[in-house]
A and B are shown apart, each in its own frame.
Chain A
Amino acid sequence: MSRRIIVAGFAEEDDLRRAVRAVRERGWTIDDAYAPYALHDLEALLGGRRSRLPVTCFVCGAAGVGLALGFQFWATTRSWPLNVGGRPWNSLAAFVPVAFESMVLLGGFGLVFAWLVRCRLYPGKKALPPLDGVTDDRFALLIDDPGPAALAGDVRRVLEECHAISLEEREVEAPP
């Protein structure tokens, strides 16, 4: 199913911020914003849920600790018990370094993998920026078309007030 979106281009990050604020105030739906670098304050402006990546990282890290401790416990008490200077089989302190390294390994890999999956990024994927230059020095804002005569009316006026350097309507198949 196709839908119409409005693509506005900006030369400055402050113009993009102003446009995001103006669009949100009017209740229009922002599809996404595009920038050549991270804009830290845009999370609050764009709205939406906080990222759950920290939870994913914690779960993967905890799994790493659990697996490493479990394996070492099994190996030293069940599979291949060795008497090392009369110490108990389940010498927990000796398991800490491996458990820590496993936590970092699984937490790190799990986090990056979850991020790639969530953002639908993978090696070899063709980059489709909404405007030329948004990975260089341009900024873009994508707004779901709020009405039939939108570009002729409010949206065009508001975006032009925010110093949009380009405005166009597009038909898209799926969320870009």
Chain B
Amino acid sequence: MYRRLVAFFGLGWNGSCRTWLRYEVVYLLLAGLATPLVVSVHSVVSADFAATLVPGWHATIFPPYFVTGAILSGMAMVLTLMLLARKAMRMEDYITPRHIEAMTKLVLATSCLVGLSYAIEFFSALYVGNRYESFTFLNRALGPLGWGYWIMVACNVLVPQLFWFGRVRRRLLAVFVICILVNVGMWFERFIIIVSSLERDFLPSSWSGYAPTWIELATLAGSFGLFFTCFLVFCRFLPVIAMAEVKAVVHEGHSEAQA
């Protein structure tokens, strides 16, 4: 059954170099189309917030802020899953410490950008002279959800600074723990942006506290379940590394290992 499915979706691939060369053109063009799509998708999502008048959302920094946050959380999530899959599927020869170190540097760079966004956002809110805006940010940092705000800052900005040290970048357990903390921090970022602004809007009469319902908690658990089901099904039935790309560089890998 599995062989038949693979043969069906193999499209009759026979290894022709002309097909390979056209495939490479398609690969490059799709990468070129997908890269600005990352910027576009997160800018549009942030514009959904920024276009409202809600204090804490109505800010022009939102598009770049969301894009950098998305890259940070995406890289941390990829590292988290990759380190687990690498260990479980014994892919240490293919995903080397060099790859992981390069990714941690990207996490560090985006973490600094996210830290800059937090600082600019806070400064603008205080500097702009709009008391609703400045109240919202002081409330975020010092109000009832202040603990969540500081978890967000600690996990997204402070903890990744450990990646400045080469010893930390090369210790896989440390990388894994830091990436989990970044995942937690990015979850809190979305929570703080949404909940803190909606809890305290223009009218004190409409202020309220937020507590998740069972439905919301179940939806959260379900989203984890759906994602991990798809991820594990993918790992079980499909090649997790593009084999043709590894074959193309396997000679270089051998000569590097011998050197």
Q: Which of A's residues lie within 8 Å of B, judged by CB? A: 32-40, 42-43, 46, 48, 51, 53-54, 57, 61, 97, 100-101, 104, 107-108, 111-112, 115-116, 118-130, 134-135, 137, 140, 176
Contacts and interface: CB of A to CB of B under 8 A. Distances in A.
Interface residues of B, number: 33
B40 A101 contact: yes
A123 B13 CA distance: 10
B18 A46 contact: yes
A155 B26 CA distance: 35
B21 A38 contact: yes
B11 A36 contact: no
B12 interface: yes
Given A34-B14, A127-B7, A97 B33 contact: no
Contacts of A130: 14
B22 to A, nearest CB: 5
Nearest to B249: A37
A108 B12 contact: no
B37 interface: yes
Interface stretch (B77-85, B135-143, B208-216, B240-248): B240-248
Contacts of B12: 120-122, 125-128
Q: Decide if the interface of chain B is mainly helix, strand, loop or mixed.
A: helix
A148 B51 CA distance: 76
A63 B12 CA distance: 30
Nearest to B13: A127
Interface string B222-259: 00000000000000000000001101100000000000
Contact of A51 (B15, B16, B22, B47): B22
B207 interface: no
B25 A124 contact: no
The 10 closest A-B pairs by CB, nearest first: A125-B12, A121-B11, A134-B15, A37-B244, A33-B17, A37-B248, A38-B20, A34-B15, A129-B14, A119-B19
B29 interface: yes
A42 B20 CA distance: 10
Contact of B244 (A38, A111, A120, A140): A38
29 contacts: A32-B17, A37-B244, A38-B23, A38-B244, A42-B17, A48-B18, A53-B22, A57-B29, A61-B33, A97-B40, A100-B36, A100-B40, A101-B40, A104-B33, A104-B40, A107-B33, A111-B29, A111-B30, A118-B22, A119-B19, A119-B23, A120-B12, A123-B8, A123-B11, A124-B8, A125-B12, A127-B10, A127-B13, A134-B15
B25 A53 contact: yes
Contacts of B29: 53-54, 57, 107, 111
A40 B24 CA distance: 8
A112 B26 CA distance: 7
Contact of A121 (B15, B17, B19): B19
Given A127-B7, A127-B14, A111 B26 contact: yes
B165 interface: no
Interface string B43-77: 01001000000000000000000000000000000
A39 B17 contact: yes
Given A37-B245, A53-B22, A115-B26, A104 B15 contact: no
Nearest to A142: B16
B9 interface: yes
B56 to A, nearest CB: 22
Interface string B180-205: 00000000000000000000000000
Contacts of B40: 97, 100-101, 104
A129 B248 CA distance: 19
A36 B15 contact: yes
A43 B21 contact: yes
B33 A135 contact: no
